[in-house]
Structure 1
């Protein structure tokens, strides 16, 4: 088996709640591997973290956990 072109392991993102409340977990423990030339779609409801995952992969945001 070849090494994936893009590999994500246990990616999580949490946002700090205002006024010391519980942090908001957007997604937790997302793992995926994408081979070169593969076409991938990320689908889901509004606000479920699709853009946040892509922003982390592009280096525009930082994950709470994972790599």
Structure 2
């Protein structure tokens, strides 16, 4: 996820949140994330928090 792909990622996440109300993101295949990618993820998380305060975030640590 980088400057070139972050806008499409953010649009897809926002669209999915609008349609489904929640998104499960599996980043296990992601090998690189720059600040633009992080910004897209944070923006999606913020939107999810506004839509559903108190929603549960789950994650898996690196192995």
| Higher helix proportion | 2
Q: Which structure would you say has the larger RCO, counting Cα contacts within 8 Å and 6 or more residues apart?
A: 2
Larger Rg: 1
TM-score normalised per structure 1: 0.29
TM-score normalised per structure 2: 0.30
| Higher strand proportion | 1
